[in-house]
């Protein structure tokens, strides 16, 4: 059996840049052909690169399952590590370009959809005031996808609200705030203008329910249990903020939204907030990063401000 040191030397000497780029692309795509197109290779050329790498390392990296190429345990490890290495190289290039352009640092931030309306813009305003020559990349998306990007090094920080099923053993988090939950409706909804409204009044209306498994859905279900009744007309199940706000504009629908985001859309005249008591926050918005990871820091600023 070869020693661990020899195995390491063999990988460093055998792994080609083209193979590294292909493996990293396979982390982001579902098929080999899609990964090959992303790195400007034909599928036969991509297959040859993988076969050569497996032969050089003398280990099975992928196997055929029907017409699909599936990674083995070793293959999954190599794909994940390759994605992290390529992300590190990309970040190094960004830092070099920033320095060459007179900038003092860079940061890549992942933002859950709800956090993009209030907390992230406020934090970025403070950051850019403190360090006006920093370059920042913001990537918006679902939290599960952003957690994957955090693990692979594609983002430095993540701002959003985790659900109860998220495993955070390798992630450190800092709580930012816990906004309450408000009922919202379209700007022309008759209940949006009433001075005295009850939750029962709202439950009699057609609703947009938050997606199952989300923190906002938990808040909705807790409300229905407390009121001992549910809306009879749940026409939609959606957590898309832009879609739901647009739907409420022309329909008499009720929805639940974080209080800070509700105030933002209310200030734009896009929604109304019925006069019912707010609900308790279903969870905190947090700032997260990989345990032990270092963020590329601007010269005058420590990191992303909390708020």
Q: Could you tell me if residue 98 is inside a domain?
A: no
Q: Please say whether the beta carbons of 11 and 57 come within 8 A.
A: yes
Q: Write down which residue in 53, 82, 111 finishes a domain.
A: 82
CA distance 77 to 59: 12
Work out how many domains the chain is built from and give that number. 3
Q: Could you tell me if residue 125 is inside a domain?
A: yes
pLDDT of residue 98: 63
pLDDT of residue 3: 47
Summarize the confidence of residues 269-281 as an average pLDDT: 93
Q: Please say whether the beta carbons of 102 and 131 come within 8 A.
A: no
Q: Are residues 75 and 216 in the same domain?
A: no
CB proximity list for 136: less than 8 A, separation 6 or greater: 106, 107, 108, 109, 124, 127, 128
At residue 184 the predicted structure's pLDDT band, cuts being 50, 70 and 90, is: very high
Q: Find the helix or strand (DSSP H, E) in which 25 lies.
A: helix 17-28
The closest alpha carbon to 223, from 164, 263, 183, belongs to: 183
Summarize the confidence of residues 33-38 as an average pLDDT: 87
Q: What is the pTM of this model?
A: 0.61
Q: Higher model confidence: residue 13 or residue 167?
A: 13
Q: Are residues 173 and 288 in the same domain?
A: yes
Q: Are residues 173 and 202 in the same domain?
A: no
**Structural domain containing residue 54:** 4-82
**Per residue in 131-142, pLDDT tens?**
777 778 898 888
Q: Is the pLDDT of residue 269 over 80?
A: yes
The CATH number linked to 141 is 3.40.190.10
Residue 171 neighbours by CB distance under 10 Å: 18
Q: Could you tell me if residue 276 is inside a domain?
A: no
């Amino acid at each position: 059996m070869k020693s661990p040191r020899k195995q390491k030397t063999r990988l460093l000497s055998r792994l080609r840049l083209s193979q590294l780029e292909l493996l990293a692309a396979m982390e982001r795509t579902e098929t080999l052909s899609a990964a090959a197109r992303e790195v400007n290779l034909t599928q036969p050329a991509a297959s040859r690169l993988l076969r050569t790498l497996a032969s050089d390392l003398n280990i099975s990296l992928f196997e055929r399952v029907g017409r699909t190429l599936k990674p083995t345990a070793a293959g999954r490890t190599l794909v994940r590590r390759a994605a992290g290495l390529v992300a590190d190289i990309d970040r190094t290039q960004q830092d070099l370009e920033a320095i060459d352009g007179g900038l003092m640092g860079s940061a890549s931030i992942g933002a859950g959809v709800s956090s993009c309306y209030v907390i992230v813009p406020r934090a970025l305003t403070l950051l850019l005031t403190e360090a006006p020559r920093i370059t920042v990349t913001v990537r918006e998306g679902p939290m599960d996808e952003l957690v994957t990007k955090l693990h692979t090094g594609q983002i430095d920080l993540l701002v959003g609200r985790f659900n109860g099923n998220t495993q955070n053993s390798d992630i450190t988090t800092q709580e930012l705030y816990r906004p309450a939950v408000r009922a919202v409706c379209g700007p022309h909804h008759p209940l949006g203008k009433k001075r005295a409204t009850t939750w029962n009044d709202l439950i009699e209306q057609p609703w947009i329910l938050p997606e199952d498994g989300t923190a906002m859905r938990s808040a909705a279900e807790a409300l229905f249990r407390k009121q001992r009744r549910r809306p009879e007309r749940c026409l939609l199940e959606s957590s898309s903020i832009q879609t739901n706000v647009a739907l409420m504009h022309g329909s008499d629908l009720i929805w639940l939204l974080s209080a800070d985001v509700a105030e933002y859309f209310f200030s734009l005249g896009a929604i109304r907030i019925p006069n019912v008591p707010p609900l308790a926050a279903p969870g905190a918005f947090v700032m997260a990063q990989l345990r032990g990871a270092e963020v590329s820091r601007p010269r005058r600023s420590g990191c992303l401000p909390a708020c």
